[in-house]
A and B are shown apart, each in its own frame.
Chain A
Amino acid sequence: MSTTTASDAKRKAPAGERVADWADGRLGIYGLAKANMRKIFPDHWSFMLGEICLYSFLIIILTGVYLTLFFHPSMNEIEYHGSYVPMQGIRMTEAYASTLDISFDVRGGLLIRQIHHWAAVVFLAGMFVHMMRVFFTGAFRKPREINWLFGFLLFVLGMFTGFTGYSLPDDLLSGTGVRFTQGAILSMPIVGTYISMFLFGGEFPGHDIIARFYSIHILLLPGIMLGLVVAHLILVFYHKHTQFPGPGRTNKNVVGMPLLPVYMAKAGGFFFLVFGVIAIISALFTINPIWALGPYRPDQVSTGAQPDWYMGFAEGLVRVMPGWEINLWGHTLVLGVLIPLVVFGIMLAAIALYPFIESWITGDKREHHLLDRPRNAPTRTALGVAWVTGYMVMLIGGGNDIFATHFHLSINSITWFVRIFFFLGPVIAFIVTKRICMGLQRRDKDKVLHGRESGIIKRLPHGEFVEIHEPLSQAQLHALTAHEQYAPAEIGPTVDENGVERKPTRTEKLRAKLSKGYYGEGNQVPKATAEEYKEITSGHGHH
């Protein structure tokens, strides 16, 4: 032992190795690297959506720190005497004035502000699409339900971080948004006026809200989000990534390329691609030109006021809701604002709860690492599309004035369209999506049993024309039949072992009903079986 050490000591290890040794002695990095350096990641374009979110989040933090160096989160009123001529002599808060300074007096300040805002828009859009990917492929199933919740929280917190962020410049547009929020808070029964007074430090707008939003925006929310992002990534590593079924890909393995070098280069490179594209967008396209809006004043407003896109559906809910108010016993129940607030919460909560609802219906307690193709889970896919439809209809509602002016439509008819289609649209979307999924399932089954349509027409000796169907390779056959299909859950025996009759509980009945809706006859197409295939390919069952 001592001799080997001595001879090793003579050969001096390279500097990098010595640094690594030093770190290993304190951090145990070799143990970590052993498990992770050549970790396998599967490849699919849709797996990159989450990366866009991660990278835009990092970009937001980097640019956000820079902005804090110049921004004054103060509502002290001053008269502007900066370099932007149209605003000179106008009274405004220091928050607004310092945002003007960032835009006009700090070299590169406008660019960083625009990157910050564009990255936030991309971050939220990325999360929205990433969540759709996870939802429609069933990647939220066990063991990933908690990571779905982490992601959901990131989405919701991202919305509020975005809102508090774009409110900071205290311009006329964002101030109007804050006023709207205050009005919505007031609608809450019993506690509304108290929360409003406490949040604003008195009556609206007061002198505190910008400073308070500032600490929420730069510290509280991003702090929580950073923790969630780290936890989200740790779980992705720990669970190992999901993959689509295919030859050699099972529920027990993960097929792809190693972290070092391929994903280091691809994912690391992708950070620069995302950053680069956002920087170029920020150079070319103005976002939130606060200098054109003017400082906030509670008695002034501009037309076409819109929140950032991710708040649009909440805006829509508030815009199209009829103005119901109930006055009873000296109190007012402001249903016209309260119901939109509640529906907003319910629509978000539905996202969080879905994995648990589905696993209750299937009763499946196993781990799932193979992704579903959306068509192979018609009811889930249809539910997801229904939700997105309701969301999109509300997005139209949130921009009803913009739609009215741009398409020369009556704002009243748009509002009525949204009111009706918020309920009707999801139903239509559900039915249509389910039909499409089932049609695609049938097509897959047809392809498996009869092969791929080659487009080659052959004339048989007796004059008949037939199209040649090319049989699929075994790999293709496997990929198209690898998905699992559940049988609908039955209500357990209604007579127990002693012959005593037992009434099925209401939850049991509900579950059986839902399960039938998911997996019952007519709600999924039974996949091709080997027997069917053999019968057809053996030549007897000529079609």
Chain B
Amino acid sequence: MSSQEISEADLPHEQATTHGTAVAEHPFADPGLPPHKPRIQDIDERAAKRSERTVALLFTLSMLATIGFIASFVIFPVDKIVYVWPLGHVSATNLSLGLTLGLALFCIGAGAVHWARTLMSDEEMADDRHAIEATPEVKAKVMADFADGARESAIGRRPLIRNTMFGALAMVPLSGVVLLRELGPLPEKKLFHTGWSEGKQLINMNTNEPLRPEDVAVGSLTFAKPEGLEESDHDFNNKIAKDALMIVRIQPEDIKDKRELEWSHEGIVAFSKICTHVGCPISLYEQQTHHVLCPCHQSTFDLSDGARVIFGPAGHALPQLRIGVDDEGFLQALGDFSEPVGPAFWERG
């Protein structure tokens, strides 16, 4: 340990604090505080009066601004919109209240600071510092007191009490931890399933109507939800967070991935809309290349090649939903996604 300590000689010495007059002897010695230079207000009463008036003017302005605030509050209806150059069309209440409040506050501050800078003494003073550390005597007294207290408590002599007390104190917070169990359900297999299942029709998000293959044109991006899910449902957000689907039509000969082609219907492919990075909905589609881009973190997927990741931080391809056509000619799912949608997680495998 002592070898860790740096030797005294290596440490810089305290700067000499003597007010050296023999400059030649100690040219860098501390000459002490420079003499105070009076300000114009210190010697000219007229200047001081001017400062006084400035401060009073600022405080008066503040009072006027507060009256302006109250007046604006009363005068302007909350929905009044006014045109103010260069801000454009803004809420009259917000602008007037903000400016008057800001002015009222700012003028108090400016007045106080001007007062301090021009009229209060600006003579610098020195205060002594005292070591934070206690003196050895104080430390010895504290140690002795502590030893007395510890001895009187007999905590060292009666280990049974000590150990059981530590045991009790260590265990009692467990009650709190146990209570936290009620915060939510266990994950179980919840993240592995979505609302899709065999036979569920693909419902167009915009029209709320089942989709037919001819509704999906080449170059368009269609969003769908499973049949039976309504926006007014209590848990719509929870459901759509996993079920959101995007549908595009690609010429079958352009589909590079074999399984993708198998799971498509006449070149119509359906992929999860939820990014496999951290779960943003993907919404940008480039028709020529069949790339889709997540606007949050720019993960880019190639929908013509199994939706594999071609750029960005996503770790795996978008899950594909196997689709077909039912007896009435509507697009339908041929099952749930074969893997969890959305961000990856430990149990995903």
Contacts and interface: CB of A to CB of B under 8 A. Distances in A.
Interface of A: 39-40, 77, 83, 91, 104-108, 110-111, 114-115, 143, 176, 179-180, 182-184, 186-194, 196-206, 208, 238-240, 247-248, 250-258, 261-263, 265-266, 268-284, 296-305, 318-325, 327, 330-337, 362-364, 366-367, 369, 400-401, 411-412, 415, 448, 473-475, 477-478, 481-482, 484-487, 489-493, 507-508, 511, 528, 530, 533-534, 537
Contacts of A179: 278-280
A284 B98 contact: yes
Given A250-B30, A323-B277, A265 B115 contact: yes
Nearest to A191: B346
A199 B17 CA distance: 59
Contact of B344 (A182, A186, A194, A270): A186
B278 to A, nearest CB: 3
Contact of A250 (B15, B107, B113, B132): B15
Contacts of B124: 248, 255-257
Nearest to A282: B98
Which of the four size classes fits the interface of chain B?
Answer: 35 or more
Contacts of B116: 261-263, 265-266, 269
Given A272-B105, A336-B314, A367-B131, A190 B298 contact: no
B128 A176 contact: no
A322 B27 CA distance: 60
Contacts of A176: 280, 296
Given A204-B238, A297-B237, A299-B241, A183 B277 contact: yes
B99 A280 contact: yes
B91 interface: yes
Chain A to chain B: the 5 pairs with minimum beta-carbon distance, closest first: A283-B98, A183-B278, A269-B112, A276-B106, A272-B109
A454 to B, nearest CB: 20
A105 B77 CA distance: 10
Contact of B34 (A188, A276, A475): A475
B95 interface: yes
Given A104-B79, A107-B93, A257 B122 contact: yes
Interface of B: 2-6, 9-12, 14-15, 17, 23-24, 26-34, 73, 78-79, 87, 91, 93-99, 101-113, 115-117, 120-129, 131-132, 180, 183-187, 190-191, 205, 223, 231-232, 234, 236-238, 240-242, 244, 273-274, 277-281, 283-284, 295-299, 309, 311-316, 342-349
Given A106-B78, A204-B279, A266-B116, A276 B344 contact: no
A266 B30 contact: no
A279 B98 contact: yes
Given A197-B187, A415-B298, A206 B79 contact: no
Given A272-B105, A272-B107, A491-B3, 11 more contacts: A40-B127, A91-B231, A106-B78, A180-B279, A182-B279, A297-B237, A319-B298, A330-B349, A362-B6, A490-B10, A533-B28
B28 A478 contact: yes
B288 to A, nearest CB: 17
A83 B79 CA distance: 8
A110 to B, nearest CB: 5
B188 to A, nearest CB: 9
Nearest to A315: B297
Specify which of B97, B279, B346 lies most central, judged by the most chain A CB atoms within 10 Å of its CB.
B346
A337 B79 CA distance: 45
Contact of B112 (A265, A281, A319, A537): A265
22 contacts: A40-B126, A91-B232, A183-B342, A201-B184, A203-B242, A239-B132, A253-B128, A257-B123, A258-B125, A265-B113, A269-B108, A272-B112, A283-B97, A284-B87, A298-B281, A325-B316, A337-B278, A363-B6, A412-B311, A474-B27, A478-B31, A492-B2
B344 A325 contact: yes
A389 B177 CA distance: 41
B277 to A, nearest CB: 7
Contacts of A193: 187, 191, 345-347
Contacts of A111: 93-94, 97-98, 101
B28 A486 contact: no
Given A40-B127, A239-B132, A484-B12, A248 B34 contact: yes
Contacts of B298: 319, 400-401, 411, 415
A198 B28 contact: no
Contacts of A486: 10-12
Contact of A305 (B87, B95, B236, B295): B295
A91 to B, nearest CB: 6
Nearest to B19: A248
Contacts of B344: 186-187, 325, 332, 334, 337
Given A187-B343, A298-B241, A327-B349, A270 B94 contact: no
Nearest to B125: A40
A475 B31 contact: yes
Nearest to A251: B14
Contacts of B343: 182-183, 186-187, 334, 337
Nearest to B62: A272
Given A283-B98, A305-B296, A336 B17 contact: no
Contact of A254 (B93, B102, B129, B240): B129
B206 to A, nearest CB: 12
A203 B238 contact: yes
A303 B2 CA distance: 60
Given A252-B128, A253-B126, A325 B346 contact: no
